[in-house]
Structure 1
Amino acid sequence: VAFHEEEARSRRGLKARLTRHQGWFFLPLLLLAGANLHVASARALAARGAKGRWTDVALLAAHWGLYLTGLLLVMTPLQALAFVVVHLAVLGVCMAGAFAPNHVGMPVIDRGARLDFLSRQVLTSRNVSGGAWVDFAMGGLNRQVEHHLFPSMPRPNLPRVQPIVRAFCDEHGIAYTEQTLVGSYRSIIGHLNRVGLKAGDPFTCQSAAHLRA
């Protein structure tokens, strides 16, 4: 998945054709997010100079050894394989499904841009509304703006500070984004397709875009 127009522009051939419609592949690709997490961990440990490399290698080996041994004690090899596939798919949907609505499609601030801490956190985050069931399903990450501003704050307190943060942002002209869960995924798919088609700048925030220019 290409999240930025520059990345999409660099693609050629079949990858380029798929990228033009990448938004529609995003949700199915969540099924692979869990497996990708493990692959990324292995690649990071394979890199030279990784801090605590051998400790992490030992822990990962112990994890997979115990995990697979436990499965094979109660299942046939094919059943164990099916369990691992389903487990990783569910992990990917639950993990990426909670993280993606918070940031994908939101402005990406250049490292050199001069933005204060508050603006940087608010402009790049999206809250997801929907009541108690969304709070439960997303583990409190649906109030991503407040979570970024107060990372050590206990989750039950985030709803209490949300009206204060929103009012402060309104007072100071800082764009505060909140959408429903369906609306957030609609924005994600639209953003990814726009990037794939190179139809416009994915950096849509006017105040941050001014600093980026």
Structure 2
Amino acid sequence: MSTAPPQAGSGSPYAHLLHQIRGAGLLERRTGYYIWKIAITGLLFAAGWTAFALIGDSWWVLIVAGFLAFVFTQLGFLGHDAGHKQIFASRRANYVLGLLHGNLAIGLSYGWWVDKHNRHHAHPNTDGADPDLEIGALAFTSRQAGNRGRMAAFAYRYQAFFFFPLLLLEGLSLHVNSVRALLRPGGRPRAWESVLLASHVVGYLGAVFLILSPVRAVVFILVQQGLFGLYLGCSFAPNHKGMVILAAGDRTDFLRRQVLTSRNVRGHWLTDFMLGGLNYQIEHHLFPSMPRSNLRRAQTIVESFCRRHGLTYCQTGLFESYAQALRHLHAVGRTPCPAGA
């Protein structure tokens, strides 16, 4: 994943910030931390499926569905870090880890997601360039609200109320888009991705329908995948939703583009753990290869730097971040621009 920031001139503000961060050793690998993290998450994954098998065909298995939704999201965070080369120095090692966590463990095409996420990092919250703004079910700009037809415009008026319920479908959306990407004609050959993703589908569905009755199996899948999508969506939603949206072709420099379009979530070690370090979104966007465990230390340096240089540094509580995102969606849905604008 090519998410390294552009080379900055020696006298640029970003170059000075980079020098500070590098001098503090915050870009150095934390392999030991990640080995521990991978091992613990792997044990939780195995424990979840072991409990699933032991409980068997009982409604109590829905507790396991919720637990596995949590573990799937934690695995997704590790795949995210591998995609940014935070874990190993070797690109191949990060890629293999990403395939195992993404394609095999949770059924997400790692290669497709990396391509999409790379474009997001290059153009965060940029109209027409950031794929995270191109979600048909939601409108993030007045242009989108006015250009998708009258029925869609009517739905957008109430999109703030639908936002969290729609996140229950995020897991399904990721699976569907992953399969589409691997089956797309003319796409980059991804044999191993296809094999591992198919193995996940066969193993997941085989285990669920082999052990549970058809009705319980369907309910288990709906609960597990729904909560997985909700947790994942709630982890990513605070990062940019409701922040500045840049116009297509905007030429804002790298430092300002990343800081002004990102929002941090204030918290403590539990917030860091539950959000996979994504609560330090500003620092992550400025230094995408920085190991997750270093982001908290980088935060104080970056915030102080931004204050000195007159850059708005947005940091708020978790629930306030959701409120800001919902207010933005409500405002956009209520004031669409004329079609064709």
TM-score class, shorter: 0.7 to 0.9
* Alignment CA distance shift 1:29-1:149 (3 Å): same
| CA RMSD, 1 decimal | 1.8
The match for 2:69 is none
Deviations along 1:95-126, one digit per CA (max 9) or x if unpaired, are 11100100111123345322222111111110
The match for 2:238 is 101
Secondary structure in 2 aligned to 1:174? coil
Deviations along 1:174-197, one digit per CA (max 9) or x if unpaired, are 111111111111001100011111
Distance 2:269 2:197 in 1: 35
Secondary structure in 2 aligned to 1:115? coil
User: Which AA in structure 2 matches 1:107?
Assistant: V
Question: In 1, are the aligned partners of 2:145 and 2:336 still within 8 Å (CA)?
Answer: no
Distance 2:144 2:249 in 1: 19
The match for 1:148 is 285
Secondary structure in 2 aligned to 1:114? coil
Question: In 1, are the aligned partners of 2:140 and 2:332 still within 8 Å (CA)?
Answer: yes
Secondary structure in 1 aligned to 2:242? coil
1:12 aligns with 2:149: yes
Question: In 1, are the aligned partners of 2:143 and 2:336 still within 8 Å (CA)?
Answer: no
Distance 1:9 1:116 in 2: 29
What are the within-5 Å matches in structure 2 for residues 1-213 of structure 1?
A: 1-110=138-247, 112-198=249-335
User: Which AA in structure 2 matches 1:153?
Assistant: M
Distance 2:155 2:202 in 1: 37
Deviations along 1:37-90, one digit per CA (max 9) or x if unpaired, are 111112223322111245433332221011111122321122111111111111
Higher relative contact order (CA 8 A, sep 6+): 1
Fraction of identical pairs, as percent? 47
How far residue 148 of structure 1 moved from its aligned partner, in angstroms, is 1.2
Normalized against structure 1, the TM-score is what? 0.87
Distance 1:47 1:105 in 2: 33
* Alignment CA distance shift 1:15-1:112 (3 Å): closer
Q: Any stretches of 5+ residues in structure 2 without a counterpart?
A: 1-137
Normalized against structure 2, the TM-score is what? 0.56
Distance 1:155 1:11 in 2: 38
Q: Any stretches of 5+ residues in structure 1 without a counterpart?
A: 201-213
Distance 2:209 2:334 in 1: 47
Distance 1:199 1:74 in 2: 50
Distance 1:13 1:162 in 2: 44
